[in-house]
Structure 1
Amino acid sequence: MKHLIYALLATGAIALPAGAALKDGDNAPAFTAKASLAGKAFDFSLKDALKKGPVVVYFYPSAYTGGCNIQAHAFAVNHEKFAAAGATVVGVSLDSIARLNDFSADPNYCAGKYPVAADADGKIARSYDLAIKQADAGKKDTRGLDIDHGRTERTTFIVTPDGRIAATVGGVSPAANVEKALETVQLLAARARKS
């Protein structure tokens, strides 16, 4: 694992977020949450997803906001590349499941390609040691609707099937966040093929 982390650092595949306390090699907190895929709610379990391979757990501030729209679309466009590397993608935000049902099905964003999970009370974000900011009064989303929930920092964790964090990506643009996550899962897949 150390060799992989050094290789990722050398290639610039990891950018650490300012406030994330969880580090590469730490155990990723397991969670279950109400999630939405293509507008349909279901119960997502990280433990179950890890049985299929690595999981990209990406935290984002809010559905239907500028950077989050870009990031969601980039994950959707690259979904097949993540799948080819054996990785599952799940987005996590403090949005309600109702907002996520719309966002997950929206062809301009998640496009029904991967699930987004509701962390309305921030419990999952806090378990990953991410900062939560309170809602800004009067803030609207790109549809003109009120954003009435807090938000967390944009940070992505790549979790290996053994439940450990292989890489943390943060402090970069939404599109670069997706690119770096994809580079990481492709390196993990290449390493697995060599073993």
Structure 2
Amino acid sequence: MTDIVEGQPAPAFDMATAGGDRVSLDALKGRKVVLYFYPKADTPGCTTEGQDFSALIAEFDKAGATVIGVSRDPVKKLDRFKAKHDLRVVLASDEPEDVTEAWGVWVEKKLYGREYMGVERATFLIDGAGVVRRVWRKVSVKGHAAEVLAAVQSI
């Protein structure tokens, strides 16, 4: 597993997004980037997290940050998820699975005694120069978006 640490250059990414666009780290140079990984679109925790980031999107924008939610869901599912919950963040599809691998969030999980591979809920704050400034692992959704916003505003 790749271990992303603060102070290292962010691994490059280029993904398809809801709405038929693409998003890449190169295209966002000069802007702060909040890259949050979530397990599955339209599940309770992932919906709450998307709504919490969306509620603060004007503040993130004012602080010069782009917020990108990443899952392995196909773009069509992300389109439905975004529309159903009026999400205002960029939703990116890592259906090829290379971004979740590169960022070290494809991990072994346990649920009800069963082990399986899945996406770890994690968030990374990247500065305008492409350097990882903050890392949040095993994220608890409640209050997380506000904590990330405070970190964005401090750099």
Mapped pair 1:187 → 2:150: no
User: Any idea what SS the aligned residue of 1:22 has?
Assistant: coil
Partner-residue secondary structure (3-state), 1:117? strand
1:47 aligned residue (23, 26, 29): 26
* Aligned twin of 1:147: none
Q: Does 1:88 align with 2:66?
A: yes
CA distance in 2, matches of 1:59, 1:104: 15
Residue 41 of structure 2 is matched in structure 1 by 63
CA RMSD of aligned residues (A): 2.0
* Rg comparison, structure with higher value: 1
2: distance between equivalents of 1:55 and 1:118? 16
Matches within 5 A, 1:130-169: 130-132=105-107, 151-169=118-136
**Structure 1 position 89, deviation (Å):** 0.5
The structural deviation recorded for 1:121 is 2.8
Calculate the TM-score normalised by the size of structure 2.
0.88
The corresponding residue for 2:101 is 126
Q: CA deviation digits over 1:117-158, x for unaligned, max 9?
A: 100132101101122459x9xxxxxxxxxxxxx730000000
Q: Which runs of 5+ in 1 are unaligned?
A: 1-18, 137-149, 189-195
- How far did residue 59 of structure 1 move? 0.5
Write the distance in 2 (CA, Å) between the matches of 1:82 and 1:41.
23
Count residues with an aligned counterpart.
Answer: 149
1:73 partner SS: helix
User: 2:78 maps to which residue?
Assistant: 100
What is the percent sequence identity of the aligned residues? 29
Output the CA distance in 1 between the equivalents of 2:66 and 2:29. Answer: 8
SS of residue paired to 1:175: coil
Contact 2:105 2:121 in 1 (8 A): no
* Runs of 4+ residues deviating >6 angstroms: none
Query: What whole-Å deviation, never above 9, does each CA across 1:1-22 have from its counterpart, x for those lacking one?
Result: xxxxxxxxxxxxxxxxxx8711
Taking the aligned partners of 1:175 and 1:20, their CA distance within structure 2 comes to: 26
Q: What SS is found at the alignment partner of 1:88?
A: strand
